[in-house]
């Protein structure tokens, strides 16, 4: 049986351990660049995933990430970052990692081989038709991931499978299959390298694009940011100013009057409304700042 491409030996680095340090570092950097090319080649499938996911999430669904090892940790990272970046409710961004929470910082050997556990862990979350389940596995054949995929499909959830090998059962079994064909690694089989990098790029692209579709961004401004520390408060005030042309003092005043909500402050300043009126205006257009401001034209 032919080895999957992610497990094959890289033909270009048979003497890696003999490289000088600069050449060694260069080999890793150059190989990582291929990760972005692999994601670019999958742009069409990623776009399909974004449109399908946005439709489900508009109905109140959750994003549920599933994976083992590096793939699982990358999914967990994406889930955690959605709340501070886009004010996405934490209870609507979940992550399942083979081996449970312990596997975040310590490998749990054998956990990825348990297909039944993958199905059980996913089913325990009570998935439904409005949910989006993103399953990641570099090999595309991890039993834990495939078990979760089957359970998600049985529950009617949208399934998105992200793998790094062509013709994988994960991509084939998902409603939207995404193949990031990164090929052999510089260190043979170490898919934490460019396979993992490609997954990270794909997740950044997917979740950020979904949030744009869900009106979490105005222009290219991060207008649903959670200002939970001094740095983010300063950033939020700059966003209000950038969107409205208001000076810093006026932007700060509106931001504070609107309870630290960037979107509300932009609409309030743009339309000359009070905070409550601005919130009502936003609610009427599903949180779209652009649509809310059309009244100004």
Decide if 91 is catalytic. no
Beta carbons within 10 angstroms of residue 220's beta carbon? 8
Q: Pick the catalytic residue from 45, 112, 150, 185.
A: 112
- Give me 15's structure tokens: 């003497």
Helical ranges in the chain per DSSP H: 21-41, 43-57, 69-86, 115-123, 143-154, 169-173, 194-213, 230-244, 248-257, 262-271, 275-284, 289-293
Q: Pick the catalytic residue from 81, 91, 109, 253.
A: 81
- Give me 43's structure tokens: 């742009």
3-class SS at 132? strand
**Which residue do the tokens 């995929």 mark?**
149
Question: Which H, E and C letters describe 65-113, residue by residue?
Answer: EEECHHHHHHHHHHHHHHHHHHCCCHHHEEEEECCCHHHHCCCCCCHHH
User: What are the φ and ψ backbone dihedral angles of 145, each rounded to 5 degrees?
Assistant: -65, -40
Decide if 81 is catalytic. yes
Tell me which residue of 276, 282, 222 sits closest to 291, measured CA to CA. Answer: 282
**What does the alpha-carbon distance between residue 158 and residue 142 come to, in Å, rounded to a whole number?**
19
User: Which residues does the annotation mark as catalytic?
Assistant: 81, 112
């Amino acid at each position: 049986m032919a080895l999957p491409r992610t497990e094959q030996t890289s033909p270009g680095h048979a003497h890696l351990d003999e490289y000088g340090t600069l050449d060694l570092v260069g080999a890793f950097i150059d190989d990582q660049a291929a990760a972005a090319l692999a994601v670019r080649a999958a742009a069409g499938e990623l776009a399909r995933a974004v449109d399908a996911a946005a439709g489900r999430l508009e109905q109140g669904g959750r994003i549920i990430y599933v994976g083992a090892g590096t793939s699982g940790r990358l999914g967990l990272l994406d889930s955690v970052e959605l709340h501070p970046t886009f004010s996405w409710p934490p209870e609507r961004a979940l992550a399942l990692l083979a081996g449970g929470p312990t596997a975040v910082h310590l490998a749990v050997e054998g956990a990825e081989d348990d297909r039944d556990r993958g199905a059980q862990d996913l089913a325990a979350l009570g998935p439904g038709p409005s949910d989006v389940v993103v399953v990641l596995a570099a090999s595309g054949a991890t039993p834990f991931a495939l078990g979760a995929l089957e359970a998600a499909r049985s529950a009617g959830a949208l399934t998105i499978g992200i793998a790094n090998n062509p013709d994988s059962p994960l991509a084939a079994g998902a409603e939207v299959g995404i193949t990031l064909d990164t090929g052999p690694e510089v260190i043979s089989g170490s898919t934490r390298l460019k396979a993992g990098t490609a997954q990270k790029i794909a997740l950044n692209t997917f979740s950020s694009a979904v949030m744009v579709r869900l009106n979490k961004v105005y222009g290219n401004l991060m207008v649903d940011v959670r200002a939970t520390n001094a740095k983010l408060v300063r950033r939020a005030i700059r966003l209000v100013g950038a969107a409205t042309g208001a000076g810093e003092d006026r932007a700060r005043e509106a931001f504070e009057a609107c309870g630290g909500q960037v979107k509300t402050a932009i609409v309030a300043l743009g339309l000359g409304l009070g905070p409550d009126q601005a919130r009502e205006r936003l609610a009427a257009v599903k949180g779209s700042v652009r649509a809310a401001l059309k009244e100004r034209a």
